[in-house]
Amino acid sequence: MISSQEITRTAVRALRRNKTRSMLTALGIIIGVAAVIAAFAVGAGANKSIDEQIASFGSNFIMVFPDRAAMSAGGTRRYLTYDDAKAIEREVSGVDAVAPMINTSVTLVYGNMNWSTGVTGSTNQFSYVQDWVIESGRDITESDVRQGIKVAVMGRTIADKMFLGENPIGKTIRINKIPFKIVGIFAAKGQSQMGSDQDDFVLVPLTAAQKRLVRWNTPGRIGNIYIKGVSMNALSYIQNETEVLLRERHRIKQGEADDFAVRNVTQMLEARRKTTTIMSMLLGSIAFISLVVGGIGIMNIMLVSVTERTREIGIRMAVGAKAIDIRAQFLIEAMFLSMIGGTFGIIIGIFAGYALASFTSAPPIFTAASIILAFVFSAMVGVGFGYYPAWKASLLNPIDALKYE
């Protein structure tokens, strides 16, 4: 029986003689392993981002938003209104604070500086519900909202970009050509988990936004309502009672679809997590198929190699190689091809993971377990799909093999 070192050297020499074919054979494994690494890394990164978003929002947080502009019993379109928000705060127990909101895109002007950003119209409860802290100046007040006073609190990004070191407090900016006095600056929060700049916005009183910036035809119309519960245990009750109250206020009959939706943040992000998981499973399935196709490619090439090297196999058997030696040689060749493909696949998969993550704004997470699993699986593919050609080579009759032309 020939030593394992000699069998390994013979297998490596055979692969080196056909470098191009060897690399093309390993290509299927490279693609499969790279896809596995990238899919798991992007999926893990997206799920971690969602977990962090849940933590940042808080678990006792509910959103109410228009589901569709449904027709009410009176034949008019129904939207969420400021009165809806007041009714929730007044009539639903377990509510800590309610912040009705309007969001719109605007252009800010100060001197010769222009800046496109988003404006949020809300009440004095907004900062508490959304966990914003005033760095300098003051927040909008209940009096500002009641009187519709044109004041604004801006995020740190806008203060830095438009005022270039100058103190913005007390200055007047134009929001869509309407003058607003700056009364406060929010402390910086930085980028969100999805990569957006949280500090690039302006807060104004809800009533000022309704009258000056959006001018909707429906009196008191708002975009959505944020509700902060006193505890996580109260969320289910708040959600149910809010739905009942709004159905009553919007005069929605039994059997009719709601023109609004009530969701807590955990529910919304869990739904998103499911979508991310499904996408990861889909990518993983494609990666698995790629590995199988790569394995089939290895088996095909090894069968061709057995046919091409029939005479070589006969000579080796004639000089003392046994069937187990021939089988071992071809198995080692198949495993080497898989391991080479696995190594390059891991490297390419890491680069691909970062490239794909640029579209999700969530950094990929590479774990040692997923990398080791992908590498071991690629080696198993080589052994599994390489066994049949190796077994077929070991069955050749030495005399017939020597006669093969």
Question: DSSP labels for 265-320?
Answer: HHHHHHHHHHHHHHHHHHHHHHHHHHHHHHHHHHHHHHHHHHHHTHHHHHHHHHTT
Is the pLDDT at 395 greater than 50? The verdict is yes
- Least confident segment among 55-69, 83-97, 341-355: 55-69
Is the pLDDT at 185 greater than 80? The verdict is yes
Rounded-to-integer distance, Cα 114 and Cα 214, Å: 20
Mean pLDDT of 80-99: 92
- pLDDT-based confidence at 85, cuts 50/70/90? very high
Residue 399 pLDDT? 61
In this prediction the pTM is 0.60
- pLDDT-based confidence at 73, cuts 50/70/90? very low
pLDDT tens, 244-294?
Answer: 999 988 888 888 888 888 887 766 667 666 777 777 777 777 777 777 777
149 - beta bridge partners?
none
Cβ atoms 85, 100 nearer than 8 A: yes
Residue 116 pLDDT? 92
Rounded-to-integer distance, Cα 65 and Cα 69, Å: 11
Residue 333 pLDDT? 77
Residue 72 pLDDT? 46
pLDDT tens, 323-335?
Answer: 777 777 777 777 8
Residue 335 pLDDT? 80
Residue 59 pLDDT? 59
* Chain center to CA of 297: 33
Residue 23 pLDDT? 78
Mean pLDDT of 102-123: 93
Mean pLDDT of 169-176: 94
Rounded-to-integer distance, Cα 378 and Cα 332, Å: 13
pLDDT tens, 341-382?
Answer: 888 888 998 888 888 777 766 778 888 877 888 888 877 877
Residue 143 pLDDT? 94
- pLDDT-based confidence at 339, cuts 50/70/90? confident
Average pLDDT taken over every residue of the chain: 81
Copy the structure tokens of residue 356: 């794909």
**Quick one: CA torsion of 217, 220, 224, 228, rounded to 10 degrees?**
180
Residue, of 308 and 26, whose pLDDT is higher: 26
- For 131, list phi and psi in degrees, rounded to 5: 60, 45
- pLDDT-based confidence at 206, cuts 50/70/90? very high
Report the share of the chain in percent with pLDDT over 90: 30
Mean pLDDT of 303-319: 73
Residue, of 162 and 296, whose pLDDT is higher: 162
Copy the structure tokens of residue 67: 């589901």
The winner for highest mean pLDDT among 43-57, 177-191, 328-342 is 177-191
Is the pLDDT at 392 greater than 70? The verdict is yes
